[in-house]
Amino acid sequence: MGERETPLKISLTLTALFALALFMTVWRGYSFGISDHAVHIPFMKHIIDPTLYPNDPMIATSKRYVSYFPLFLSVLTRIFGNLEIIFFTIHLISVTLFLFILYRLSLQLFDDRFSAVLLLTLMLPKRLVLGKGAIYLGGMYPSFVLLPFGLLAMLLFLRGKRVMAFSILGATANFHMLVSFYAFCMLSLCTLFEVGRDLFYGRREAGLRRFLIERIVFPFSAYLILASPVLIWSLRSYTPATDEWVRLLRIRSSHHSFPFSWRRERFVDYLMLLAFFVLAMRYKPPSAFHRRVILFCCAITLLCVLGVVFAEYRPVQLILRAQLFRSTVYLTIISMLYISNYLRRLWEGSTFHKLVALLSFAVLFFPQYYPFVPLALALLLALEWREGGRHPGVLMIVLGSMLLRMYVKHTQFPGSVTFDPIVGLLRTIFENRLLLLALMMALLSLWVKTIPDQRLKLGLTVLIAGFSLIYLAPAAFSLFHPPDRFKDSWRDVQLWAKRNTPRDALFITPPYREGFRIFSERGIVGDWKDGTQQYFDIEYSYEWWRRMRDLGGGGRGYDSLSEERYIDLARKYGASYLVVPKGRKLDLEKVYENGGYAVYRLPISITKRHRSYSP
């Protein structure tokens, strides 16, 4: 790498990336109380107050939910209190750390700041990941919170700090096993390959015993020791899988574990990204780094192959639970690392090179231009062919990818070109004062780094950081947490339940609406989202599916159930209240109604407490 950065320059970099994190959050969006929050928040609240959610079978699965993340949230909540502020703060810190590690990875590999800045720019929009995974999520999720630590382990491993890299992965496994496991596989394959190579060629500098201890025993022991709490928990929670469990997993979570159920065009689109990656390897980092990165990619490829064979042909519980295609989150990031450097090098060429680089940037940055990927690849192929120096096999791989796209259903090539996406982005930035200010603070921080006067640089750094922390961050929080946010009919009915029903009240709610437990702090019969717990509790999957069938199949069939059917469900599960869409008339006591939902009290005479599921 180039000149060593001073603490002041690192502070400026972090200030710029914090402003960029605010920009990314405001642009991409943020939400609280959605998706996986429907599981994490009730688990956390139940840890704080075990009297909440009695007789709710989903809450009982927390005993097999092998993650200490809910416990971590409960500690923060006890200390700071406001859960919305906690979630938003963790999210901003995670985005900033994610961008910082990406920046350092790019510098480590290519030692070029322009490439690093270009990488951060290309990572702002949504990036494709297989297995229904994602890099940036519109909220605070453990998978994204822990992703920067997986990338940090990669960075440390590239620098030769193996024990520290494996230690980080071992510690993070306690909070999200999958993100840690994927990176562990990448580093493990690379470690074993290098150890085997050095033994074969006699490159070890110490005795065999010391060599093996330093290169294998220390790193792997560090991982196993630090990950031991969650590994032991996993072993204790193990339950043999059944064919019925596999069938239910296909019904509920095929988008994560069963690749043959996915749309073929998604694979084709991802193949186009990999074609860019293959071309981008023209400009490699130093050979030692490049070899390790290629081994990382081989590990991900091997995981995906296992994810096909042992999910579709011979289902294996461990493979299904590991959701191996989600490891492509690392492959996508590696691809973008190389592609950003490739585009930067193209920019150094002729005018035609610059035009091709601009087109390639546009198709990768703007989703609306992604159908132009074949055109960009064709132009890049023409450049490669003319300049020579590339192995014909590389060009054939890219050409084969393009031909495959022609024969697989995909987004049609646009009949016309407009600048609407570019104009729309500029309009969004200039019309949203918060977006504009965040972007200005990020750019201003980069400019301040070039100022030679250290006192002036320090003063401006404090001003920019203070403005971002004191004004921009609270403004962003207020944007996503407006005072009227609880006027939403779904949240409103939850708050009514919390204020007006006993803690042990059990609700029958629309199964297609997730998250009723979050604000109501009341148990429910079940919803479709609860099915994600199949990955952790096999026995619960059968109970969950019985409940979904009772609730109309888990979808809109719930709305058309007869009054007698609702009463039967109340009797079966011991429910006290029924939530239905507004407008559904029932001959029961209506106790609340808002713009979207009505709540009916179920007669005590018909309720009979259903035996709660216990793992």
CA distance 132 to 130: 6
- Same domain for 391 and 517, yes or no, is no
Q: What is the pLDDT of residue 112?
A: 94
Three-class secondary structure of residue 507 per DSSP: strand
In a domain, 615, yes or no: no
- Same domain for 336 and 230, yes or no, is yes
CA distance 246 to 316: 9
- Same domain for 347 and 493, yes or no, is no
Task: Give residue 282's identity as a one-letter amino acid code.
Answer: R
In a domain, 446, yes or no: no
Place of tokens 């999910």: 311
> Which distant-in-sequence residues (6+ apart) come within 8 Å of 137 by Cβ?
35, 143, 144
CA distance 547 to 90: 35
How many separate domains does the chain show?
A: 2
- Same domain for 349 and 251, yes or no, is yes
Q: What is the pLDDT of residue 392?
A: 64
Please return the burial class of 425, using the count of CB atoms within 10 Å of its CB with bins 0-12, 13-18 and 19+: middle
For the record, the structure tokens of 318 come out as: 């461990």
- Same domain for 399 and 497, yes or no, is no
- Same domain for 390 and 497, yes or no, is no
In a domain, 15, yes or no: no
Task: Give residue 413's identity as a one-letter amino acid code.
Answer: F
In a domain, 463, yes or no: no
Task: Name the residue range of residue 389's domain.
Answer: 66-407
- pLDDT, tens only, 300-318: 999 999 999 999 999 999 9
Domain stops at, among 357, 385, 407: 407
Task: Give residue 512's identity as a one-letter amino acid code.
Answer: Y
Give, to the nearest 10 degrees, the angle between helix 351-365 and helix 113-122.
40
In a domain, 281, yes or no: yes
Domain stops at, among 407, 433, 458: 407
In a domain, 129, yes or no: yes
Q: How far is CA 99 from the centre of its chain?
A: 14
CA distance 482 to 485: 5
- Same domain for 160 and 262, yes or no, is yes
In a domain, 265, yes or no: yes
Beta bridge partners of 593: 598
> Which distant-in-sequence residues (6+ apart) come within 8 Å of 416 by Cβ?
none
CA distance 504 to 497: 11
CA distance 251 to 549: 12
- Same domain for 305 and 202, yes or no, is yes
Q: What is the pLDDT of residue 230?
A: 96
Cβ atoms of 283 and 387 closer than 8 Å:
no
482 backbone dihedrals φ, ψ, rounded to 5°: -65, 155
Cβ atoms of 299 and 101 closer than 8 Å:
no
Please return the burial class of 586, using the count of CB atoms within 10 Å of its CB with bins 0-12, 13-18 and 19+: middle
- Same domain for 118 and 257, yes or no, is yes
Q: Is the dihedral of CA 392, 397, 403, 407 positive or negative?
A: positive
Q: What is the pLDDT of residue 263?
A: 87
> In b/e form, how buried is each residue of 194-214, taking b as 16+ CB within 10 angstroms?
bbeeeeeeeeeeeeeeebeeb
Please calculate the CA angle 206-208-211 and round it to the nearest 5 degrees: 60
Q: What is the pLDDT of residue 592?
A: 95
Q: Checking DSSP bridges between strand 506-508 and strand 577-581, what pairing results, if any?
A: parallel
Nearest partner of 564 among 587, 534, 547, judged by Cα: 587
Domain stops at, among 380, 407, 434: 407
Q: What is the pLDDT of residue 615?
A: 55
pTM listed for this prediction = 0.92
In a domain, 553, yes or no: yes
CA distance 302 to 312: 15
Which residues of the chain are under the pLDDT cut of 50? 611
> In b/e form, how buried is each residue of 249-272, taking b as 16+ CB within 10 angstroms?
beebbeebbbbeebeeeeebbbbb
> Which distant-in-sequence residues (6+ apart) come within 8 Å of 120 by Cβ?
17, 20, 99, 102, 103
- Same domain for 402 and 514, yes or no, is no
- Same domain for 243 and 369, yes or no, is yes
Half-sphere exposure for 134 (CA within 13 Å, toward CB): 13
> In b/e form, how buried is each residue of 1-22, taking b as 16+ CB within 10 angstroms?
eeeeeeeeeebbbbbbbbbbbb
- Same domain for 504 and 394, yes or no, is no
